[in-house]
Amino acid sequence: MRLVLLGPPGAGKGTQAGLLATKFGVPHVSTGDLFRTHVAEETPLGLEVREYLSGGELVPSELTVALVAERLGTADAARGFVLDGFPRSVVQADALATILTGLGKRLDRVLEFRIDDEIVVRRLLARGRTDDTESVIRHRLRVHHEQTESLLAYYAGHTAVIDALGEVEDVARRVLDSLGE
């Protein structure tokens, strides 16, 4: 199963991606998690990207695409993956298509999580990650709306819309229904 999850920060993509990864026995690939690990370990990439993360800015696509290409090329991703947080722009979506063509694979499904911005702000403030201050959250939402919404047009026709409001189990059921599981 090869899935892409789209939607604003705080829509619950990470949680649902984890559940889907377990169900299908494929890795959950979160670019945010990969970057945060690099930052925590102070790798050269981590030092390069930490200001983007703390400011809620997108990391330049060359760095992001290289990270994803490497991750999707590893053996455990051969049977599939759940991509969470990537692609975030049409440039990245084109790059993903190129990576998949190179691997001889195709996406099965794109899921778009929809949720109101004000609910996201409340959820993320409650989560309390270091990049979860209100002004950074609002900035991340603006970046999402500006740069990511063209992705919906890019994937139009291949996308299932998921109402992301509600309890984890309820959203999980909607996700599985949309996948015909």
Among 7, 9, 12, 80, binds ligand AMP (CB under 6 A): 9
The answer for 25, left when phi > 0, alpha when psi is -120 to 50, beta otherwise, is left
Options 12, 27, 32, 80; binder of ligand AMP; rule CB under 6 A: 32
Q: Which of 3, 34, 45 is nearest to 21 (CA)?
A: 3
Contact at 8 Å (CB) between 113 and 15?
Answer: no
- 12 binds ligand AMP, rule: CB under 6 A: no
Nearest 10 degrees: Cα torsion 72, 113, 90, 135: -100
What are the residues whose beta carbons fall under 8 Å from the beta carbon of 155, sequence distance 6 or more?
4, 6, 93, 110, 112
What minimum distance in Å lies between the beta carbon of 84 and ligand AMP? 7
The one among 11, 53, 164, 172 contacting ligand AMP by CB under 6 A? 53
CB of 180 to ligand AMP, least distance (A): 27
Phi, psi of 113 (to 5 degrees): -85, 125
Residue from the set 15, 50, 52, 138 that interacts with ligand AMP by CB under 6 A: 52
Using CB under 6 A, count the residues that bind ligand AMP.
16
| Residues forming the site for ligand AMP (CB under 6 A) | 9, 31-32, 35, 52-53, 56-59, 64, 85-86, 88, 92, 140
